[in-house]
Structure 1
Amino acid sequence: MIEAPDTSVRLVAEPGPAAADAVARTATGLALGALALDGVVANRVLPTPHDDTPWLAALRAQQYKTLGEWAQTYRTHEVTHHGQDPRGTDDLAALRVPGPGPAPDPVDWPVTDALATDSLLIWSVPLPGVAREDLGLIRRGDELVVTAGPFRRIVTLPSALRRCAVTGAGLREGTLRIRFAPDPDLWPQNR
């Protein structure tokens, strides 16, 4: 089920600084695992006040700051705090959380052929939210070990890349681009 192309994940979190970090970290782990993030359900959002005590105003401001950040990055659905935890199917239905939408595009790691212009093949690995200092990349035979923060994945290289040497990598706009140059010693020889 995890590897099915139409599998996606929806995260549920109460908006705030700690949840923002956890959602970003989890989105990175999902991308490294090639799982699509369907969206984020922002749970227990404080309603608009009738009278605002200072501590509620500060909490509400914190929540709305996080909600704004999430809305720019993820499909987000807000669930207002009802003053109690839901119990039973009627309470859950009252939350009005939408069902799954159309399946998100599967997470793809495409190989770009730049042999004619740069003598390279480029493998693009989407890693949203990861910082350069949290990345690790090791070639191990026909595999690539990719580390992004606390997550690690061992990936078998596509056949064309197995016959190449890694010449470098760069992270830009949430995508790790790994450069491969053909290695004549690894390509089949004409007879």
Structure 2
Amino acid sequence: MRLLLFTGKGGVGKSTVAAGTAALAADAGHRTLVLSTDAAHSLADAFGAPVGAEPTEVAERLFVQQVDAQLRFEQSWAEIQRYLLSVLEGVGVDPVAAEELTVIPGAEEVLALLELRLHALSGEWDVIVVDCAPTAETLRLLALPEALGWYMDRVLPTQRRVVKALKPVLSRAAGVPMPGDGIFDAVERLHAELDEVHGLLSGPEASVRLVLTPESVVLAEARRSYTSLSLFGYRVDGVVANRVFPAEGADDWRAGWVLAQDAVLAEVAQSFADLPVWRSVYRATEPVGVDALRTLAAQVYGDSDPLAVPAGTGPYRVDRTADGAELHLSLPFVTRAEVGLARHGDELVVTLRDDASLGSSGQAVGSYRRLLTLPAGLARLRVAGARVDQGELRVRFTDPAQDDVREKAT
């Protein structure tokens, strides 16, 4: 099953490109679902058809769904929310205010991805196209499973044992109810489901496609997105430059725009030299409906296969060496000054700093942190060195036993 995610800065036309790609896939004979996880749904407008919270067939083999994030929120968060409400009410917080405080910002968009998990496990689809939220929200939600995983592995087991042993004492001392097994079970279920989503989206048949318009600010965000997506192990397989002015027949006013866009498009080609860059020309009318969207996508991709599975091992790999191993993590556009690295037990903490010196692009990459749990083969080795080389972080590990042998030999 092929999984394609489309994201980009708000307003660049990612929903239109995602819908067109899905229409093209269905026309090629694939049973296709295009799914919107963006709270500001626009797929119904793009297809010019009513679309609901369940898959709606808009053409042969083409189904569209705008996820009811509120419903998923109630299904996955309700038990946890009820407990939080009881705690807040116990300390005198107004019930209306308490309900607002127990809704985590962005949680609905994150939980909408659980719908993707259900569809992927159903086996009903050959292709699933996801119209994601704008870039910043997408990056936050894609980083959540690993962050929650750290809490689940390190904190929750201890917390659960303490609460179970001292529940009566803690309840009296704190004056609020302590969480029961049902709350811990709900958190564990949520983590397990999100972890499956992460596995699906970072798998070999999944990739992210960046959509941008030829503007310097939009390009800067696309570059940061490429770096951050690579940090968390997601493959970016291409870039769609949307709303490109055609040079033919341009009057003086449009000729100025053509020149400005050409300059940015040259930067796009340089920035994403290792990826295909497809172009979509600016149209006199907005493409609405299956036929118009399919035509747009056919012109964008030309002779290339829009569903081709990305080659290679992805942005993260480990190579064995004569004296240990070397970890490779793709981090496009960053310099050594922008990367922080620390080792904590069997974890490698990689941080992209926004307060460091600017990279060669002149743009800081943003601030993100990933906790990489090292496989058993690496966890027993020590970090011998690290460097950033041509957009890739390389961390060298050596075997302490071999170090001792070399020291004795000298």
Shift of the alpha carbon at 1:77?
Answer: 1.0
| Equivalent position to 1:167, from 359, 384, 387 | 384
Structure-to-structure mapping, 1:57-136, within 5 angstroms: 57-72=255-270, 73=273, 74-95=275-296, 96=298, 97-98=300-301, 100-105=306-311, 106-115=313-322, 119-136=323-340
* Structure 2 residue aligned with 1:139: 343
Q: Greater strand share, 1 or 2? A: 1
The answer to whether residue 185 in structure 2 is matched with residue 2 in structure 1 is: no
TM (norm. structure 1) is: 0.83
What is the Cα-based RMSD across aligned positions, in Å?
A: 2.1
Identical residues among aligned pairs (%) = 37
Determine if contact 2:318/2:328 at 8 Å carries over to the other structure.
yes
Shift of the alpha carbon at 1:78?
Answer: 0.7
Higher-Rg structure is 2
Matched to 2:206, the amino acid is T
Distance in 2 (CA, whole Å) between partners of 1:20 and 1:108 is: 21
Distance in 2 (CA, whole Å) between partners of 1:108 and 1:141 is: 23
Determine if contact 2:230/2:315 at 8 Å carries over to the other structure.
no
Distance in 2 (CA, whole Å) between partners of 1:101 and 1:44 is: 22
Deviations 1:71-118 (A, max 9, x none): 342201111101333322233223133362320024153323333xxx
Q: Higher relative contact order at CA 8 Å, sep ≥6: structure 1 or structure 2?
A: 1
Determine if contact 2:247/2:255 at 8 Å carries over to the other structure.
no
Determine if contact 1:17/1:62 at 8 Å carries over to the other structure.
no
Determine if contact 1:167/1:181 at 8 Å carries over to the other structure.
yes
Structure 1 residues 68, 120: closer, same or farther in 2, change over 3 A?
A: same
Distance in 2 (CA, whole Å) between partners of 1:43 and 1:143 is: 40
Shift of the alpha carbon at 1:44?
Answer: 0.3
Matched to 2:232, the amino acid is G
Distance in 1 (CA, whole Å) between partners of 2:259 and 2:294 is: 27
Matched to 1:143, the amino acid is E
Structure 1 residues 80, 123: closer, same or farther in 2, change over 3 A?
A: same
- Tell me, what secondary structure is at the counterpart of 1:70? helix
Distance in 1 (CA, whole Å) between partners of 2:226 and 2:250 is: 36
Determine if contact 2:204/2:310 at 8 Å carries over to the other structure.
no
TM (norm. structure 2) is: 0.41
- Tell me, what secondary structure is at the counterpart of 1:110? strand
Deviations 1:119-171 (A, max 9, x none): 45221111112232221111111111112342221111122221122122111
- Tell me, what secondary structure is at the counterpart of 1:169? strand
Name stretches of at least 5 consecutive residues in structure 1 with no aligned partner: 185-191
Determine if contact 1:15/1:63 at 8 Å carries over to the other structure.
yes
Distance in 2 (CA, whole Å) between partners of 1:112 and 1:162 is: 14
- Tell me, what secondary structure is at the counterpart of 1:170? strand
Structure 1 residues 157, 131: closer, same or farther in 2, change over 3 A?
A: same
Determine if contact 1:166/1:179 at 8 Å carries over to the other structure.
yes
Structure 1 residues 51, 113: closer, same or farther in 2, change over 3 A?
A: closer
* Structure 2 residue aligned with 1:12: 211
Distance in 1 (CA, whole Å) between partners of 2:393 and 2:293 is: 40
Shift of the alpha carbon at 1:51?
Answer: 4.2
